[in-house]
Structure 1
């Protein structure tokens, strides 16, 4: 049975959502960079970026495709398309196409704005029209260029093709001889290097996560359930300005901590359990990604401490390698060598981490890390026969002066974790 949250974790007043903002001018600069990249091959292609449709009314909160959000900042226009036309006259290279107004739909989903100057100013795009004009607009583009560039990732074999490729194939039938280019790496490269504004968003997501973890550390005890732990964390996020977690929270106690993406979160905490907690707050579309492993009773046992400190040693080794020019493979090797030397190499069976941003597993470019990248580093050891799992995960900003551990404020040494759990406030 779930127990009520402890009073110490409850806010004194209803939470107020913070209003994160990246300047409209930054989105415009991003679109200009895409246009510059499209022109590098000496051609002037068109490209489409789709927001994606929504059934979020009954199935959660709508999120546009991260490429669309990254280039526009628009999060409430399902079905919208951003058109790049590198062959168009200056000032007309970007167009935004929105779904038509529908009074019946608006009764259910809310009113939408007319296309007028206030909307154009808010979005920073002067060319805005309704989607039914897309066919005529593309016909006009084909009078100036016969090259199309795909920016969306292609679907794998057996999956649907990307939405931009589907439209370009229709254009090929209408205009034989059209060239379709693979420019899917353009936005992967751009999104992997976070601007100062993006870094600020991620730092805020981490800070909100810290506050949630702080509340959780003070309340966990045997007899609670994994669900109680999750609720305490996520309540802490919402109480401090977040809309909630950036991904499904994992709370795995005992043997459940050896399951990488365990999300049932329903079992009670036994006194001798270690609990793997993988959760991070979302702020303005950007997410933190934090994992801490804690003892249900507030004190690590000898075996638990042994495995925990081995994983922590591996984590710190990988962090030291996380510099400009390093690869994820090199960062992985630093942890894997330490864990393998201790005899647990076959119990570390996932990669060391991933890029972080608008997606928890953010799009990953090829090549070494650049200044401004934000990555996770998360070694782990999973001993099913001992019902013992340990994973520790930090979010790391890559800078020219070395790695910056954004999540350093969330306790992770044995002493710091035990101290945080002893502080019942």
Structure 2
């Protein structure tokens, strides 16, 4: 792994929090992700399932975590199953976790080779009454591919039909949404790497540069700072491309007078950052561009102040809509009649700001979190309002990542990344 070693106490604490929520005499199983084929003998780069990483720190394929806190024997209470490594694998594929190294990473003492999983599970199931299976219940999930977890669940149900079933996901939704201090430090590192990338491109962007060249500059800076790369597919959208919310082609020329919308974030140790900035290709905003820019910035700043313990996500977005409506009226994009006659299900401001303002952030860019439950300290949210004006050929989005505090305003993990229009202009012009 490129990232520095993570103190295993984080994973020990995460397991303790999870097992405290389990029902008596129950076992929980977590599988790694597959390595997905492309064609012939090609595969996509491996990305570990975030749940098994959260609970064990194991960051390699073909791994399984078993938790059985009420097991009658100590060696069955925590088991990490790994593919057996050897000299041949080390030569052809690189270093894999040994039993000794797996203990150092995870704090789990009983490391068992994967070939003994079914035999071990058979013993475990004779003692357990219930199994926790790890289904994907994220509100944005739309999975068509059968995962390693799916295959395990199907096999387990056929093999052990008499056991009760519980779901791990509701527990993990709550646990993962509230970050430990060590997790916040990893996310701060991801944001700091993103800052380096952004400052790099401020000296690079000019008329005639291609969007993909800017993407390459970010990738260079991310990789040289121990990131695997982008936390999500980057959006490098110049001119009218910014009005396509998930524009990822990044293949157009940046032209004089245009704005450039950047939605880019580095990952670090599997934790995400999520940044949006909008900058002038020529190094200066026009008066109109600056007016819209400052309106978006004002919405972002005021929305951030609403992210406090007890806030409900749905009500928060209603309040942000009111702030945005006021700014759109001031810009002349809406008039009072538009607001008076609006459809409550799709308010007038949605014509220019059609997406949400905030989502959970962490091991996933759209991280775990139950949106119907009140916000809590140490939850991390993005704040990302935007105004998109196809008729004027530009769109503006600004986004920071913030940590909810027990009292007072949220802590901005991106506080050092330039955002004021004047500072961006100054940096782009070497002033």
Task: Place the TM-score, normalised by the shorter chain, in its bin.
Answer: 0.7 to 0.9
Deviations 1:215-268 (A, max 9, x none): 111221111111222222222223344332222221100111111111111111
Distance 1:335 1:419 in 2: 30
Distance change in 2, residues 1:390/1:51 (3 Å): same
- Aligned to 1:80, which of 48, 57, 63? 63
Deviation at 1:286, TM superposition (A): 1.4
**Residue 124 in structure 1 maps to residue 107 in structure 2:** yes
Q: Name the stretch that deviates more: 144-153 or 220-229.
A: 144-153
Distance 2:161 2:195 in 1: 56
Deviations 1:55-89 (A, max 9, x none): 4894453221000111111212x111001123313
Give the conservation status (yes or no) of the 8 Å contact 2:32–2:148: no
Distance 1:336 1:66 in 2: 33
**Residue 406 in structure 1 maps to residue 391 in structure 2:** no
Give the conservation status (yes or no) of the 8 Å contact 2:212–2:251: yes
- Aligned to 2:28, which of 43, 47, 64? 47
TM-score by length of 1: 0.87
Question: 1:272 maps to which residue?
Answer: 257
Structure 2 alignment gaps of length 5 or more:
329-333, 335-348
Question: 1:387 maps to which residue?
Answer: 393
**Residue 67 in structure 1 maps to residue 48 in structure 2:** no
Question: 2:338 maps to which residue?
Answer: none
Give the conservation status (yes or no) of the 8 Å contact 2:12–2:106: no
- Correspondence 1:2-401 to 2 at 5 A: 19-39=3-23, 43-55=24-36, 58-76=42-60, 78-89=61-72, 91-92=74-75, 93-101=77-85, 106-115=90-99, 117=100, 119-154=102-137, 159=144, 163-164=148-149, 166-341=151-326, 342=328, 343=334, 344-366=349-371, 367-401=373-407
TM-score by length of 2: 0.86
- SS of 2:236 mapped into structure 1: strand
Distance change in 2, residues 1:66/1:273 (3 Å): same
Distance 1:162 1:236 in 2: 33
**Residue 419 in structure 1 maps to residue 426 in structure 2:** yes
**Alignment RMSD, CA only?**
2.5
Deviation at 1:163, TM superposition (A): 4.8
Distance 1:44 1:241 in 2: 42
Deviation at 1:37, TM superposition (A): 0.8
Give the conservation status (yes or no) of the 8 Å contact 1:225–1:267: yes
Deviation at 1:90, TM superposition (A): 6.0
Structure 1 alignment gaps of length 5 or more:
1-16
